Structure 1
């Protein structure tokens, strides 16, 4: 792992355990979800070199990673984290109000009275 360390993008994503399989890494790159030094890459064989900064868009998050070294195998997670430096900014904390309303449907205003129900039936044109 010298200063001139280079590696294919898809292999590196797989070695670092960003994706589960190499074919998923290829799909991620071909789908335009990976940027190297702020430029979109569409070739899974794009060579990475030391100090390249990758922006990877995953299903629920965006990761910003700095290429530190090339891997030789897909080893344990402890070995994988030595291949990159995580530059991802920490998530913005939610306010108490946002936490309270997250995932809830808006509260209904009020239940329609008899006149409102008849107006709805007339509007829909049904005799239910």
Structure 2
């Protein structure tokens, strides 16, 4: 398929892989089948669903949720700058992801990490403590 021809349809799993949302096509396929991808407000039920320029996608990947508009179609995975040119993320999505990132940062602020890994004696004490709790 030619990535410059706007009339060509591209499978949803192939486009998600080419746009670098998922590392492999099979991960993109699993996400679609698992209900993690919506197209134009409706559930994307099949990995072979054709995408068109102007489609609105909602992608959930781990804790992140993306809302984006398809700007170009491609069936080839290229460098990150080329992949980022395939879509435009909405302002609401960017703001929501930044707020979630800040919230996670604040949530982890109360956790004090030890300066180094525990030594062998400390690891044994930790294990004994955990075993005693059960």
Report deviation, 1:3.
4.2
Determine the C-alpha separation between the residues in 2 that align with 1:37 and 1:75: 25
Structure 1 runs (4+) deviating above 2 angstroms are 1-5, 91-95
Query: For the aligned residues, what is the CA RMSD?
Result: 2.1
Is 1:28 aligned to 2:31, yes or no? yes
- Report the counterpart of residue 117 of structure 1 in structure 2: none
Q: Which has the larger radius of gyration?
A: 1
SS for the counterpart of 1:71 is: coil
Determine the C-alpha separation between the residues in 2 that align with 1:5 and 1:68: 13
SS for the counterpart of 1:73 is: coil
Preserved CA contact (<8 Å) 1:5 1:69: no
Determine the C-alpha separation between the residues in 2 that align with 1:83 and 1:6: 14
- Report the counterpart of residue 78 of structure 1 in structure 2: 81
The total of aligned residue pairs comes to 101
User: C-alpha deviations, 1:90-111, integer Å up to 9, x for none?
Assistant: 123858xx93xx2448xxxxxx
Is 1:17 aligned to 2:20, yes or no? yes
SS for the counterpart of 2:99 is: coil
User: C-alpha deviations, 1:46-93, integer Å up to 9, x for none?
Assistant: 000110000001102001111111114111101111111111231238
Determine the C-alpha separation between the residues in 1 that align with 2:8 and 2:68: 16
User: TM-score of the superposition, structure 1-length normalised?
Assistant: 0.70
Report deviation, 1:42.
1.4
- Report the counterpart of residue 111 of structure 1 in structure 2: none
- Report the counterpart of residue 51 of structure 1 in structure 2: 54
Determine which structure has the larger helix proportion and give its number.
Answer: 2
Gap regions ≥5 residues in structure 1: 106-128
Preserved CA contact (<8 Å) 2:12 2:47: yes
